[in-house]
Amino acid sequence: MKVLVAMSGGVDSSVAAAMALDAGHEVSGVTMKLWGGESDSGCCSVADVEDARRVAQQLGIDFHVFNFGDDFAEHVVAPYVAAWAGGSTPNPCVECNRHLKFDRLLRRADALGFDAVATGHHARIARQPDGHLRLARSVDRAKDQSYVLYMLDQVALSRILLPIGDLTKAEVRNRAAELGLRIAAKPDSQDVCFITSTGGRRAFLSERVELKQGTLRSSSGEALGSIDGLQLVTVGQRKGLGLSGNREPMYAVDVDVTGGFVTVGPASELTCREVILDQVTWAHRPFEGDVIAQTSAHGSVRRGVVEVIGPGRAPPDPSSRPRAGGLAGAGVVRLRWLEPETRVATGQSIALYCGDTVLGGGVVT
Amino acid sequence: MLPYLSVEYGNPSGAHRRARAARKAIDDAREVVAMALGAAPSDIVFTSGGTESDNLAVLGVHDRLGGTLVCSAIEHHAVLEPVLSRSGQIVPVHPSGVVDLGALESILDAGSVTGSAQHGVSAVSVMLVNNETGLVQPVDEVASIVHRLAPGALVHTDAVQAAPSLDVSAQAADADLVSISAHKFGGPKGVGALVVRPAAATALAARAVGGGQERERRGGTHNVAGIVAMAEALRITVERRDAANRQVGKLRDRLEAGLVAAVAGTILTCAGGRGTPAMCGTDRAGPRRSAGHCHVCFEGVESEALLYLLEEHGVYASAGSSCASGAMEPSHVLTAMGVPRSLAFGSVRFSLGYSSTESDVVRALEVVAPAVEQLRAAASP
């Protein structure tokens, strides 16, 4: 097959390229240039592109850089800013996968005659006896990244290769070292690629959003203090609220930007019985019943029951490829927890599993 | 050039016999380059290429004279960035892609009214041929406007792209500072020159100081082999220029006409993205263009994807400018000409030179049309 490998300059995608080559594919590497602004982490810097290019040279494969900066600004950065401005807590890495890696890049690869796009995600795709493709967790449970892939449907899965899903992270690093790749010991990227570690989220958002002063209230409406940068508060946050003197730890329970306040309360008020997910997509077909839910990239899992309650709204970008799940009339689901669970901020993604199999997922409303 | 990488390894700044041999090679090269560029040998400063020449001209003047730097919006980044770094002023261009002389006059007028000698305009830089569009800029008119409205200011022209096809000695005769780069006319990469005419001689501060080479205008050991090779390449270029222009221009016109005929939605890049052959000078009307440039926009196609497909079929073209990561950015030149961003993303430059042949053009035409079709088919739902 003719395979285009998305190379970030990190160890995972580098080894993914090497393995695609070993599997006998005709391999080219590509780095997406997504962010033109300041960056000192993640996968956007010139240094990372240089790492990716050098790895491609060492592997003897063709290497390209595609500039998807406009798409990234439109589909990832602008919604990120809008979400924080409205009191939500977005997950830009999920949106980048949804709109850039597994839409824009897939379409570009299609147009250029590639049979598949390979990435260095720790997850597995396997064809089932009935012919459909199953997206499953990596064999390395601690490094599993299936959560950020929950938006992949059958059409996308049929065009994607995940060459390192059967390896542990340690095995990936060993493989990189064996190949003499210079990135073998490079640390994993952790942060949002367009947020600098020096300025952080506050510096980034303060240039794009008018940060407001807000009040901190108890659930009964009692004023407990004030906060600078209301929009920067996220549900579940404890530090930075200026309430550390309290007998009982206090958490942000809800952020109301229009009303200008943050509701705070003890841990008991941070729990909820259910959550509504919008923009839901399904890996295979809509599902109702018992699920395991994962609420963050490397978070713990919870048990719940899913019920489809609506068709959901139209995909946010009508020009992007329609997704099977999104059109199947199951765009909004209610997820009832078996036990009361800590709230998840609106804007966060929840991925739904049956065992190790990804069923789909959506965004908390 | 090869002897100067092996047996003739002397350093021209030395005093012994081997050094003197290298010195002679440099002096010979200097005469050849000076002759080709219409300058005196003492006006030639050898550099590491176009960027260094441009930087030395623009920043060298600013370091010595201060004042305001002015350049056109379509300059190479090697001029644009230094000018912007010194808070200089940018002259817009017409949609045709040619510098707006009226706007230049306004800037110089304002400078002479409000500015003291210290804050007045110290240098104006306008390139002779734009590296993307190939459009020839009216450097002689720029010089006469500058000399009229800002008599103390120096005129620099980046002739890097002009050297292969234009008679720089005539076209840049009125410029005080002229940059060239060897690799544009068949010489090696990493060597170039700056002409510093007497009017500019005392107005230029060196950027690289130390050994005092190049009459203290550019310190550093000479790239002897590179300089020798550049001089020879320039000599041959000048000798064959007229014949090459006729041949290359004919091939370019053929390629351009072929693209317009074979690929719907092909737009020649001039006139703000509404270009026709007449507007772009193919018919020897409109702005003049250098012979080897064919710059087009394909509607509804991303050049990044198109270049990939062309390369697969052995056609190497370019688009926009590459940033540090190697990603393609929409070119500032097209933006300055008012070409819409979506169209600018579909821009491609085909470069032709003395070694291009008729079969190259035929091959390119065979490859481009199906590639554009493939991408348009993929983009439509």
Instruction: From first to last of the 365 residues of chain A, give the pLDDT tens digit.
Output: 999 999 999 999 999 999 999 999 999 999 999 987 665 554 456 778 899 999 999 999 999 999 999 999 999 999 999 999 999 999 999 999 999 999 999 999 999 999 999 999 999 999 999 999 999 999 999 999 999 999 999 999 999 999 999 999 999 999 999 999 988 888 887 778 888 888 889 999 999 999 999 999 999 999 999 999 999 999 999 988 888 777 788 999 999 999 999 999 999 999 999 999 999 999 999 999 999 999 998 878 999 999 998 875 544 444 444 444 334 446 899 999 999 999 999 999 999 999 999 999 999 99
CA distance A173 to A55: 14
Q: Which pLDDT value is given to residue B119?
A: 57
Instruction: Collect all residues of chain A within an 8 Å Cβ-Cβ radius of residue B378.
Output: 107, 110-111
Q: Are strands A26-33 and A62-67 parallel, antiparallel or unpaired?
A: parallel
Secondary-structure breakdown of chain B: helix, strand, coil percentages, each rounded to the nearest 5: 50, 15, 35
Question: Is A78 inside a domain boundary?
Answer: yes
Question: Is A334 inside a domain boundary?
Answer: yes
Scanning every residue of chain B, which has its alpha carbon at the shortest distance from the alpha carbon of A28?
B308
Instruction: Collect all residues of chain B within an 8 Å Cβ-Cβ radius of residue A69.
Output: 327
Burial of B170 per CB tally in 10 Å (0-12, 13-18, 19+): exposed
pLDDT in tens, B61-88: 999 999 999 999 999 999 999 999 999 9
Say whether both A58 and A68 belong to one domain. yes
What rounded mean pLDDT belongs to chain B? 90
Say whether both B223 and B264 belong to one domain. no
Q: Which residue has the higher pLDDT, B260 or A326?
A: B260
Report residue B117's pLDDT band, with 50, 70 and 90 as the boundaries.
very low
Run of H or E residues at B369: helix B358-379
Say whether both A308 and A318 belong to one domain. yes
Say whether both B278 and B222 belong to one domain. no
Task: Determine whether B71 is an active site residue.
Answer: no
Contact A65 B327 (CB under 8 A): yes
Report residue B2's pLDDT band, with 50, 70 and 90 as the boundaries.
confident
Contact A53 B305 (CB under 8 A): no
Minimum mean pLDDT range among A30-39, A291-300, B175-184, B243-252: A30-39
Answer yes or no: are the C-beta atoms of A128 and A134 closer than 8 Å. yes
The nearest CA of chain B is from the CA of A63 a distance in Å of 10
Answer yes or no: are the C-beta atoms of B215 and B204 closer than 8 Å. no
Beta bridge partners of A336: A274, A305
Domain count, chain B: 2
Of the residues B298, B307, B308, B311, the best mutation for testing chain A's interface (the one with the most A CB atoms within 10 Å of its CB) is: B308
Domain count, chain A: 3
In terms of Cα–Cα distance, which of B323, B209, B124 is closest to A67? B323
Contact B326 A65 (CB under 8 A): yes
Both tokens of B128, joined, read 């002779």
Say whether both B253 and B364 belong to one domain. yes
Domain harbouring A251, CATH code: 2.30.30.280
Say whether both A34 and A166 belong to one domain. yes
Say whether both B249 and B219 belong to one domain. no
Q: Which pLDDT value is given to residue A330?
A: 60
Q: Which residues of B touch A (CB under 8 A)?
A: 304-305, 308-309, 323-329, 374-375, 378-379
Contact B305 A108 (CB under 8 A): yes
Question: Is A127 inside a domain boundary?
Answer: yes
Map tokens 């997504």 to a residue: A34
Question: Is A63 inside a domain boundary?
Answer: yes
pLDDT in tens, A143-172: 999 999 999 999 999 999 999 999 999 999
Termini Cα distance of chain A: 41
Map tokens 């019943």 to a residue: A289
Say whether both A232 and A306 belong to one domain. no
Beta-carbon count within 10 A of B313 CB:
13
User: pTM of this prediction?
Assistant: 0.88
CA distance B155 to B195: 12
Domain interval for residue A18: 2-178
CA distance A242 to B211: 62
Say whether both A11 and A150 belong to one domain. yes
Contact A111 B375 (CB under 8 A): yes
Q: Which pLDDT value is given to residue A164?
A: 97
Taking each helix axis as running N to C, give the angle between helix B224-262 and helix B358-379, from 0 to 180 degrees, rounded to the nearest 10: 60
Contact A65 B378 (CB under 8 A): no
Domain interval for residue B345: 241-379
Q: Which pLDDT value is given to residue B83?
A: 97
| Number of cross-chain residue pairs from A and B with Cβ atoms under 8 Å apart | 37
Domain harbouring A294, CATH code: 2.40.30.10
How far is C-alpha B165 from the geometric centre of its chain's CA atoms?
Answer: 11
Beta bridge partners of A353: A292, A358
Say whether both A215 and A333 belong to one domain. no
Of the residues A2, A31, A33, the best mutation for testing chain B's interface (the one with the most B CB atoms within 10 Å of its CB) is: A33
CA distance A266 to A252: 9
Classify B209 as helix, strand or coil: coil
Answer yes or no: are the C-beta atoms of B341 and B330 closer than 8 Å. yes
Say whether both B187 and B281 belong to one domain. no
Say whether both A128 and A258 belong to one domain. no
Longest dimension (CA), chain A: 66
Say whether both B220 and B334 belong to one domain. no
Domain harbouring B180, CATH code: 3.40.640.10
Q: Which pLDDT value is given to residue B278?
A: 55
pLDDT in tens, A270-320: 999 999 999 999 999 999 999 999 999 887 899 999 999 887 554 444 444
CB proximity under 8 Å: A 80-119 to B: 107-108, 110-113
Question: Is A104 inside a domain boundary?
Answer: yes
Scanning every residue of chain A, which has its alpha carbon at the shortest distance from the alpha carbon of B378?
A111
Q: What average pLDDT does range B173-183 have in this prediction? A: 98
Q: Which residue has the higher pLDDT, A46 or B348?
A: B348
Q: Is A132 on the interface with B (CB under 8 A)?
A: no
Say whether both A57 and A124 belong to one domain. yes
Last residue of one domain, picked from the residues B214, B235, B256: B235
Classify B157 as helix, strand or coil: strand
Contact A112 B324 (CB under 8 A): no
